[in-house]
Amino acid sequence: MQGMEELAHAKVNLFLRVLRQREDGFHEIETLMAPITLCDSLEIESANAFEFHCDEPGLAGDDNLVVRAACLFFSETNREPKVRLTLRKEIPQGAGLGGGSSDAAAALRGLNRFFDARLSRERLSTLAAQLGSDVSFFANETAASCSGRGEIVTAAALPAPLSLLLLKPEFGVPSSWAYSRWHAAREIADAIYQPQKFRDITFVNDLERSVFEKFVFLAQMKSWLLEQPEVGAALMSGSGSTIFAVLRPNADGDLVAKRAKFALDSQLWSYVCETI
Cα distance between residue 15 and residue 196, in whole Å: 10
Contacts from 56-65 at CB under 8 Å and sequence distance 24+? Answer: 56/89, 59/87, 59/89, 59/93, 64/100, 64/103, 65/100, 65/101, 65/103, 65/104, 65/107, 65/131, 65/132, 65/135
Q: Using N-to-C axis directions, what is the helix angle for 65-77 and 99-114, rounded to 10°? A: 30
Judge whether 98 and 238 are in contact, CB under 8 Å.
yes
Of 40, 134, 168, 206, which residue is the catalytic one? 134
User: In the annotation, is 134 catalytic?
Assistant: yes
Cα distance between residue 24 and residue 73, in whole Å: 25
Residues recorded for the chain: 276
Phi and psi torsions of 51, nearest 5°: -135, 145
Q: Is 271 exposed, middle or buried (0-12, 13-18, 19+ CB in 10 A)?
A: buried
Strands 196-198 and 201-205: antiparallel
Q: Is 79 exposed, middle or buried (0-12, 13-18, 19+ CB in 10 A)?
A: middle
User: In the annotation, is 214 catalytic?
Assistant: no
Residues that are catalytic: 11, 134
